[in-house]
Structure formats: C-alpha cells, structure tokens
Chains A and B, each alone.
Chain A
C-alpha cells in the first residue's frame, strides 16, 4: 500500500490556479484548500519570513521563557545566561513530546516530563536519563551522540522591544526584510520601553489570510466600521498614505488627525447636546498627540502574521495564528509605555473599547472573514478582485486603495512558487 497518494490529502498537489494577469485577482480556493494550507506552513511560516515571537520584556532575565507558535509549529523562546534570546522547536528529540507545557516561566534547563531528557537554554541536549543503562544493562548504543540531537533552532532578532524568529537560514536580516519605510514605522511606535497592559484572543471562523488581508485593506474602514461616522466623530481632512516594502508583504498605512479641531468639536457638541447622534461620554475617543506628529492611526503589518497598531492612544501587537484552513486565532497584546502616568494608562484603557474582540471599530473584522468563508463553502471556483487603486503593489499617498493587499499576494506568490 502506498502512502504517497491522495489518501490523506496532505501530499496532494495544491488545487489553486492563479490567474495570469497580475496581482489584482485572487482565486477563492486559496482560502479553502487543505493542501494549500499545508504548503503555506512549510513555505511561508517555516520559509524565509520573520515571525513575531514575544516581547523582549517577557524574557527579561536569563531562564525566562515563552512557549508560542510560528504558524502551527510549537516553539520555545528563552533568554540564556549570556543574555542572548534563543528560539527552538518545542519538541523533544527523543519521542517528540512537548517540552514546555506552560506558556511562560523561568527555568535553568528544559526537562522532558516523558523520559527526562534535558536541554540547556540554547536547545542543546545535555542529559539522557539512564544513558548508560541501569546496572550496565540497556542504555543507549555506543554510537549515540547527544550533540547530534540539539533542538532545531530559529534565528532571532529584536527590534523596538519586539522579538522575531525565522526558521530559514536564508532569510535576510530583519531590517532588510522590513525595508526602510516599515522599519521606520515600527520604531516610530515602539520608541520607548513598553509593558504589557493585558492580552486576549479572538477566535475567528475563517482562513488566516482573510484576516491579514483585512488589516491591509484601507478601503473598508469607513464602510464596514460605522462607529465613527454614526457618532459624527471628527474625521476632517485626514491626510494619510500607504507604504509598502519592495517585496510587498510588509506595509504600514497612516492617517493624520487635526487634534485641536476635534477637541473644539467635542466642546461644541456638548453645548448642542444632540445626544441622538453623539456619545454620552467622549472619553472613549479623547486622545492626545503622544508622538507629536498628528498621526492618529498607524496600522503596520509584517508578513506573514504580525500587526502593530497605533489607533489613537491604543498600542497593540496582534498576532495572526492559523489554526486550520478555516480557523484563525488572533492574539491581542495591549501595550503601555513605562513613561505613562495614571492618566495616560486610564486613557489607553478607555480607548481600549475601540479595539479587540469587543472593539467599536474592530469587532466587525472578527465576523466578516467568517462570512466570506461561509460564502466560499463548496462555492470556491473563480476569483475575487483587488484592483482598487490600480494593479500594482506600490506605496501610495492615499488610502482608497487595495495596494497593500496586492503586496501581500506578491510576496505570498513568490514564496509559494505560484
């Protein structure tokens, strides 16, 4: 009996046919095909990409570790005695057992609960229980060498307090990967020491790419998210634009806000007291220009699965975790800065109502991908269109555009060989 056929579906060739006319058509099957999903794990998440691992402050001291995932693959991130941050797969070399069961902690070494094999903080195998047998009976064969069984490592880099990892030795260094614009955007937001305000996970009934595209989609914001328009929250003259890196997959979009005009508008609204269309309590949107550059929204993505957001005074990392062809977990990691006083923390917490699973201007993103996924169920022939703002994936000084989505598909197709 052969196992190389299509019995499991895993080894079958992908069924996705790409249109030949550029980046502005996306075959629907790319969101539904199991073989495509399996190939993404190999070529994208284990391929030449940088994946968010954790905050540097989460592994501040030697022995501090975080157990996380890159794509579907379980990995451990740990700071060693020399101060370096190491990452390796969370899988014992012996029988493949998970080494780390807790999400976070501090250890001197990693010890497998199953048969007691131990690893140091660099992922080197240091101990094998009963390696030489019991009373000279049993034990490992003479040719067994512990140094041939280190845990497969990821290369790590840190930028702006965020730790990234890559499986592929060929991945360029992080700043080269991001390009100068996206690097600048990341460092603009992460310009001071941060701490965790809290985290939550939103479970979405859709393919991971539908969410990642949504974040890159600057076209939908004022159409799907009616909160700001319904309550007439000032959106006067918000100049903005999109930066997309050379390979397409990383981007940031931004918009500016006239903070002084907005403040005057609230005061006027209070006088009018037309509570029918205005908020009872404006503190959910009352923001300060903490970066001093009038940018009130900056959404930045790092291919394949990280988002860094500044929405007014909310700062958050979102991590897109594929969990099957039609399931995605979105981790929200809310941040504050160590320089924040109580008033600033309270401001961030109140504005926190704008984002997350219950966010006034983000909750719809949790369901719209599921609506697409449902519509594609056994109806996934043909292609969708992403041609707003042209057919290319270049930076643009406006936001009524799908350029950043096209950029995603540019890098995706390069890595998938499509």
Chain B
C-alpha cells in the first residue's frame, strides 16, 4: 500500500476508536484491536523510567470486552463522557504489515451535571496491524502526561 493509503487507513482507525469511546458505543471498541493485543494506560513518568505498571491494562480482546462489561454492569460511578481531540497523527515507520503511529490527545471529561474539566492529556503510541481487511491496533500505549488522575478512571482513554 502507498504512503497516503496507510495514512488514511491509520487516521480512520484512530478516529473510529475516539468516536466509539466519546459517543458511548464502547461495545465496538474491543473489535478495533487484534487478539491478543496490548492496551496500556500508563503515566509518562513510569513509562520513561521503564516501569511497567499502568492504571489500565489488557493483553487480549477478552480483557477489553471485560472492561466494557464491568463498566456497564458492575462498577459504580457518576455518569460522564469524554471529548477527545487527537492531534497530529504521524506514521513513524512501517515494519512489514505494522504501522508505528504516534499522536497526541486531549480528553475533556463532561460530568452528568455539565461540569467540564480537562481530564487527561497525553500521547498514543500505536502499533497498527494492516494485514487484514480492516486496520486494527495490535498495541496501543496511552502515555498520560500526568501521573495524577482525578477521582477515578473507568472509561478507557
């Protein structure tokens, strides 16, 4: 595939991911990942220090599905949603059928009573599998600029 085609495909996948999170179609979110996969939300400080502990981690599509099931059925929290703004999406390199892609994001959190805060900023470090008919994340590391999280994190970023 040519460079432009890759860039469009990557942009489409990242946009689809943001959409299903922000528009509360979370059940679609795990299908954007390969199985197995790696999804990790981790602070910049931990990541830079080579520490592996994040705040949310999945190693399979099943673990992603369980995240969605838990927030629908089990976990208790005040209703809220995010609004993501994803900044320049840049294909760093292509390794065979995998595109290594970096982008920046801001995520505002809108509580059910309307209070809106800047909840998280950071960087997506993606490895995107282009071998199938649909591009999928084989790895998405969400590097949070801050190691502070306000109240709780239940909806994936």
Contacts and interface: CB of A to CB of B under 8 A. Distances in A.
B85 interface: no
Contact of A329 (B66, B76, B148, B153): B148
A363 to B, nearest CB: 4
Interface string B29-66: 00000000000011101100001111111111111011
B39 to A, nearest CB: 11
Contacts of B67: 353
Contact of A360 (B42, B62, B75): B75
Contact of B65 (A203, A280, A356): A280
A200 B66 contact: no
A15 to B, nearest CB: 28
A205 interface: yes
A370 B78 CA distance: 11
Contacts of A202: 148-149, 151-152
A34 B67 CA distance: 39
Interface stretch (A22-30, A225-233, A398-406): A225-233
Main secondary structure of the interface of A (DSSP, over half): mixed
B112 interface: no
B53 A363 contact: no
B70 interface: yes
B63 A196 contact: no
B4 interface: no
A226 B72 CA distance: 11
Nearest to B149: A357
Most buried by A among B73, B77, B148, B151: B151
A356 B149 CA distance: 10
Contact of A201 (B53, B78, B147): B147
Contacts of B45: 199
A112 to B, nearest CB: 26
Nearest to A368: B76
A203 B66 contact: no
Interface residues of B, number: 37
Nearest to B42: A198
Contacts of B1: none
Most buried by A among B46, B53, B67: B53
Interface string A235-271: 0000000000000000000000000000000000000
Given A198-B54, A200-B43, A281 B62 contact: yes
Contacts of A366: 151-152
B94 interface: no
Given A279-B62, A281-B63, A199 B147 contact: yes
Contacts of A91: none
A281 B74 contact: no
B56 to A, nearest CB: 4
Contacts of B118: none
Contacts of A203: 148-151
A198 B53 contact: yes
Contact of B55 (A196, A200, A227, A329): A200
B99 to A, nearest CB: 26
Given A279-B62, A281-B60, A283-B59, A197 B150 contact: no
16 contacts: A200-B43, A201-B149, A226-B74, A231-B70, A231-B74, A280-B63, A283-B60, A284-B63, A350-B57, A353-B58, A353-B63, A357-B151, A357-B152, A358-B41, A360-B75, A364-B152
Given A197-B52, A349-B52, 18 more contacts: A198-B52, A199-B45, A199-B53, A199-B147, A200-B147, A203-B151, A226-B73, A227-B74, A231-B70, A281-B65, A353-B58, A353-B63, A357-B151, A357-B153, A358-B152, A363-B152, A364-B77, A367-B77
Q: Which 8 A-B pairs have the closest CB atoms?
A: A198-B53, A280-B62, A281-B62, A230-B74, A197-B53, A366-B152, A198-B51, A358-B153
